[in-house]
Chains A and B, each alone.
Chain A
Amino acid sequence: MDITSLQQPPAMCIGLEVHVALHTKTKLFCACPVVFSAPPNSQCCPICLGFPGTLPALNQKALFLGATAGFLTKCKVHSISQMARKHYYYPDSPKGYQRTQAQYPLCTQGAIDIPGEGNKLKTVPITRIHIEEDAGKSIHQGGKTFLDYNRCGVPLIEIVSAPVLSSAQEAVSYLKSLRQLLIYGNVTKGKMNEGDFRCDVNISLQSSSGKSLTPRMEVKNLNSFQSVQDAIGYEYQRLFSYLEKNESLLPQTRGFNQKTKRTFLLRNKEQEEDYQIITDPNFYPVFLPDDLLKEISSSLPLAPWQRESNYMSVYALTPYQAKQLSNEKEIGDYFDKATTFPTHPPTLANMIITDAFKLLPPQSSTIPISPEYFALLAQLVHEEKINSSIGKKLVALLWEKNQDPYTYIETHCLWQINDEEILLQAIHQVFCENPALLADYKRGKTAVSKSLIGK
């Protein structure tokens, strides 16, 4: 391929496969608890260790969460799907095969919209979502390999996107949107540092007319948005340099080194890995009756952008406010609860964003003030019954000790006085008591107005 014949630099053609850890109490096929960072091999049993004669029992909650993920991403969630066995030898896979879904996955043909070029939305089709079990962990240390089977059997969904992403930014945008959506749906905790959200990137270069210029490269097991961005960046350069030198390329499976920020070869794909996939004879087809599907799809939490648009249309919040309140599900839930009490939503929104957010400990979205009290506070500020700086102080106070703001205001005489006559009287009194300051002001020292107001 003569790269000089191209009018424009080659474009990227990126597809993503994400493995998402489902938020369940127990593993996919046994009752072992799912606990992050437990002592090695302490969360295992004969079933997840693949002992002779043991059989799997499908975790129904995991199945529901898989279906939920499908509904959240507007997929067709199939009433009937099938478990399959994918065979390969590796010490972290005790049975010599992984239980997954192949020909008949749980969900197909969905899509999510992500923020794209300019302010436009880009639709990213989702080819499929299927449930599968995670493998154990191999830890290489001191020339030996240690095996921890705690993670073996943890429920995952694999979400495969169509290869329509065209840049690292788009890829990261897709991942962020997907993650937020799934956290919103209570499908996953989405904790990147616990490996809840791992990504494989499939990338090839193509001409602007869509003609493929390189074979497809797969970079496996990226577990942060930064590594996804860096890996794509590196691969683009690497592939581009091959094209420049007119060297041939084979499809490859590659890993990513976070320290050097480079990808490295794991294996060439000339021989497609033959997983000898068969339907798993230890299961009848996985069945989700229609009424259950209806129940799941009708009790979905709102997607973040749905919530955003609701906030703008229903509560007349600004786009900024709407976005700030929808970003973390817990905050939006709080706001929703608070607005069930008499309040002024835009003021409430403002106070949460300006005053409450800065009081939140890192990585927490829990506001310790009762929604009812915060709602009341916002109402009082809006009606000018207390001024906004008193309002701010009260937020901090209620944060420390949750209490009825009305009572506190009463006891501490914090009501804002709005009656003009009373105000004039008070002003007159201040002027009488401070003739010197008044004289200064009349002479032009407007700065003293502050101390006058303070009285």
Chain B
Amino acid sequence: MANSLLFHTIGQLHDGLEKKKFSPLDIFHAYQKQITNVEDTLHAYLAFSPFVNPSRYKNNSPLLWGIPFALKDNICTQGIRTTCASKMLADFVPPYSATVYSKLLAQGAVLIGKTNMDEFSIGATTETSAFGSTYNPWNLHYVPGGSSGGSAAAVGGLMTPYALGTDTGGSIRQPASFCGVVGFKPTYGMVSRYGVVAYASSLDQVGTLTKTVEDAAMVMDVLQGKDPKDATSVSVAIDYTGALGKPAKNKCIGIPKEFFSIPLALEIEKSFAFAMGIFQKLGCTFKEVSLPSFSYLPAVYYTLSSVEAYSNLSGFDGLRFGLSDANAKSIEDLYFFSRNHGFGSEVKRRILLGALLLTQPYKETHYQKALLLRQQLHHDLANVFSGCDALLSPVTPYMPPNTGTSIEEGTSGHPGDVFTLPANLGGLPSLSFPCSISADGLPIGMQLTGQRFSDGKILQLGHAFEKIRSFYHTEVVKKWT
């Protein structure tokens, strides 16, 4: 039974709880057992939470009631250490909770642990964590991706039914693809960022790492909602689970032609063709579309995210919280100690870059231009989506790198996040769903991206795909049985 609980989707777990086939504690124990089996090798977690019994429901408990979940360690949990995988916050216990965490607790969900990540979400492999790397559950020689690598590996390694992550440039979708799970980033503003430690405020969104698209919809229904504590959250209600089950027939899928000017790994090309075949079978039509600003997007992204990261990390000075030197003789000494010892080298690099880009002449040549180009992208996207329902593309141009190699600008000279960036810059909903397995046994994900607030349509298409090609129920179950 324990084995099968690991394979249960949220819907199946909920069903079993309702029918009293098992209890929340049974589920928790099953996943805990898996953790003792594989966590030593995967290192997906930074902290574990003891089982807390959710308040009783006679029947008709909420969907997420009694079901364990994991949180990326940049999501504040009151009374529980939240480190952002950084020495700066190694001992930081927030006296407040993120809204998303409170919402899950209110449903009776059960926190199982906080997951590893790239330090302050800056990275794409989870190797910049100050507390050690996480490994890919499909093959320990490869990275799980990042920055939500811990959450993706936890779900992919069956150590939790689902997890939350954050996505700023692809940080949910890329690790989801590398770990063979479903990763979803909603439209910017759909989910409150209150209590989520900011990397780039205009790009960050909380999203889900789940076994199936259906599970993603269930969690999104709970997470969404305007939060008076987050001025960037919006009052748009989307019926995520209601969108599933609608047919994909006659939906138009756009293929951005500029995406295919990037050389792709052969396996990824094959996987993409396979995905197109499935959508064709579902009755979708295809259309070539164009995103003229595409080639500028990495520069725009790195400029804006570095500037915002520099700004957001300015307040980490050792005075009120965080790593601090009790013997500092002056304020400068205190700043120097905290920021020098608290931040890892990738974070420092990004802060310095951000500071430089806000200094003239770069402020004008780079930062202001990046803002304008971001506006241009919005125009491009409006044009594109006036003619199609969703964009289909690979998640990354290349397969997961080996652990221990730095991912820099990608093996072909192009950054690995070219395909994921547009959704962050445009505030668009974007789904990474597992498609195939490579000859080496590594999962390959594909990505669907839609216009803002078309989250339902994206999940609908993803769900239609997984009904025909259930990666989870074939590849994942096969791997762990």
Report Cα–Cα, A147/B334, bound state, in Å. Answer: 15
Q: Is A55 an interface residue (CB 8 A)?
A: yes
A97 contacts across to B, CB distance below 8 A: 311, 314-315
Report Cα–Cα, A304/B452, bound state, in Å. Answer: 51
Known A91-B331, A94-B315; contact A284-B198, beta-carbon cutoff 8 A: no
Q: Is A298 an interface residue (CB 8 A)?
A: no
Shortest beta-carbon distance from B153 to chain A in Å: 23
Which of B76, B82, B311 is the one whose CB lies under 8 Å from A278?
B311
- Listed stretches B27-35, B178-186, B236-244, B317-325; interface member: B317-325
Which of A53, A55, A145 is the one whose CB lies under 8 Å from B94?
A53
The interface on chain A, measured as residues whose beta carbon lies within 8 A of the other chain's beta carbons, has a size of 28
A85 contacts across to B, CB distance below 8 A: 311
Report Cα–Cα, A419/B92, bound state, in Å. Answer: 89
Report Cα–Cα, A58/B74, bound state, in Å. Answer: 24
Q: Which residue of B lies closest to A29 (CB)?
A: B231
A147 contacts across to B, CB distance below 8 A: 319
> When the two chains form their complex, are residues B320 and A94 in contact, meaning their CB atoms are under 8 A apart?
yes
Report Cα–Cα, A276/B89, bound state, in Å. Answer: 26
Q: Is A242 an interface residue (CB 8 A)?
A: no
Known A54-B194, A282-B201, A282-B231; contact A49-B358, beta-carbon cutoff 8 A: no
Per DSSP, are chain A's interface residues mostly helix, strand or loop, or mixed? loop
Shortest beta-carbon distance from B41 to chain A in Å: 31
Known A95-B315, A284-B231; contact A46-B92, beta-carbon cutoff 8 A: no
| Interface size of B as a range | 35 or more
Q: Is A265 an interface residue (CB 8 A)?
A: no
Known A51-B321, A95-B315; contact A281-B202, beta-carbon cutoff 8 A: yes
Q: Is B95 an interface residue (CB 8 A)?
A: yes
> When the two chains form their complex, are residues B311 and A53 in contact, meaning their CB atoms are under 8 A apart?
no
Q: Which residue of A lies closest to B319 (CB)?
A: A91
A341 contacts across to B, CB distance below 8 A: none
Q: Mark A82-94, 1 if CB is under 8 A from B, else 0.
A: 0001010101001
Shortest beta-carbon distance from A147 to chain B in Å: 7
> When the two chains form their complex, are residues B358 and A283 in contact, meaning their CB atoms are under 8 A apart?
no
Q: Is B195 an interface residue (CB 8 A)?
A: yes
Shortest beta-carbon distance from B30 to chain A in Å: 31
Report Cα–Cα, A243/B322, bound state, in Å. Answer: 52
Known A87-B314, A95-B314, A282-B201; contact A51-B96, beta-carbon cutoff 8 A: yes
B92 contacts across to A, CB distance below 8 A: 52
CB under 8 Å from chain A, chain B span 86-116: 89, 92, 94-96, 98
Q: Is A96 an interface residue (CB 8 A)?
A: yes
Report Cα–Cα, A225/B316, bound state, in Å. Answer: 38
> When the two chains form their complex, are residues B359 and A54 in contact, meaning their CB atoms are under 8 A apart?
no
Shortest beta-carbon distance from A164 to chain B in Å: 31
Known A46-B95, A282-B201; contact A52-B89, beta-carbon cutoff 8 A: yes
Which of A53, A54, A96, A278 is the one whose CB lies under 8 Å from B307?
A278
Q: Is B228 an interface residue (CB 8 A)?
A: yes
Q: Is B196 an interface residue (CB 8 A)?
A: yes
Q: Is B230 an interface residue (CB 8 A)?
A: yes
Q: Which among A46, A51, A87, A283 has the highest number of chain B CB atoms within 10 Å?
A: A51
CB under 8 Å from chain A, chain B span 353-407: 355, 358-360, 363, 367
> When the two chains form their complex, are residues B335 and A57 in contact, meaning their CB atoms are under 8 A apart?
no
Q: Is A291 an interface residue (CB 8 A)?
A: no
> When the two chains form their complex, are residues B320 and A51 in contact, meaning their CB atoms are under 8 A apart?
yes
A319 contacts across to B, CB distance below 8 A: none
Q: Is A247 an interface residue (CB 8 A)?
A: no
> When the two chains form their complex, are residues A55 and B96 in contact, meaning their CB atoms are under 8 A apart?
no
Report Cα–Cα, A283/B201, bound state, in Å. Answer: 10
Shortest beta-carbon distance from A52 to chain B in Å: 4
A96 contacts across to B, CB distance below 8 A: 311, 314-315, 317
Known A52-B89, A52-B321, A53-B98; contact A276-B355, beta-carbon cutoff 8 A: yes
> When the two chains form their complex, are residues A274 and B320 in contact, meaning their CB atoms are under 8 A apart?
no
Report Cα–Cα, A284/B232, bound state, in Å. Answer: 6
Q: Is B268 an interface residue (CB 8 A)?
A: no
Q: Is B308 an interface residue (CB 8 A)?
A: yes
Report Cα–Cα, A278/B195, bound state, in Å. Answer: 22
B193 contacts across to A, CB distance below 8 A: 53, 55
Q: Is B275 an interface residue (CB 8 A)?
A: no
Q: Which residue of B lies closest to A282 (CB)?
A: B201
B82 contacts across to A, CB distance below 8 A: 52-53
Q: Is A50 an interface residue (CB 8 A)?
A: yes
Interface pairs (21), CB distance under 8 Å: A46-B95, A49-B320, A50-B315, A50-B320, A52-B315, A52-B316, A53-B94, A54-B194, A55-B231, A87-B311, A89-B314, A274-B360, A276-B359, A278-B307, A278-B308, A278-B367, A281-B308, A283-B231, A283-B232, A284-B231, A284-B232
Given contacts A94-B319, A283-B231, 4 further A-B contacts (CB under 8 A): A53-B75, A53-B193, A55-B230, A282-B232
Give B contacts to A, CB under 8 Å: 74-76, 82, 84, 89, 92, 94-96, 98, 193-198, 200-202, 228-232, 307-308, 311, 314-317, 319-321, 331, 335, 355, 358-360, 363, 367
| 3 pairs of A and B residues whose beta carbons are closest in the complex | A96-B314, A281-B202, A281-B201
